[in-house]
C-alpha cells in the first residue's frame, strides 16, 4: 500500500514538472505569432494615404458641410 502511494506521488511530481516545462516552452518559444507585420501595416497606410489624396476635395467639402450644419444648428437656439 505504501509503495503505491509513493509511486503516485512520483508520477504526480513528474507530470507537474513536465507540464511546467511545456507551459514555459509555450511562452518562451511560440510556434506561431499572429498579428500585423510591418509590411502589412505599411501597405495599409499607403492605401489610406492614396485614398485620401484621390478623394481630397470631396472629403474637404463633406467636412465643411458637416461643420456648417453643426454651427448653424448650435447658433439657432
pLDDT in tens, 10-42: 777 777 777 778 777 777 776 665 677 888 889
Residue pair 52/59 in contact (Cβ under 8 Å)? The answer is yes
Q: What CA–CA distance (Å, rounded) separates 11 from 5?
A: 10
Question: What does the mean pLDDT of the chain come to?
Answer: 82
pLDDT band at 46; cut points 50, 70, 90 = very high
The domain of 12 spans 2-75
The greatest distance separating any two alpha carbons of the chain, rounded to the nearest whole angstrom, comes to: 91
Total structural domains within the chain:
1
Q: What CA–CA distance (Å, rounded) separates 41 from 32?
A: 19
Amino acid at each position: 500500500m505504501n509503495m503505491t502511494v509513493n509511486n503516485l506521488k512520483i508520477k504526480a511530481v513528474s507530470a507537474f514538472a513536465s507540464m511546467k516545462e511545456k507551459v514555459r516552452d509555450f511562452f518562451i518559444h511560440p510556434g506561431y505569432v499572429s498579428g500585423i507585420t510591418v509590411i502589412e501595416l505599411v501597405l495599409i497606410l499607403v492605401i489610406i494615404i492614396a485614398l485620401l489624396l484621390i478623394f481630397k476635395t470631396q472629403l474637404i467639402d463633406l467636412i465643411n458641410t458637416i461643420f456648417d450644419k453643426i454651427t448653424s444648428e448650435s447658433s439657432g437656439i
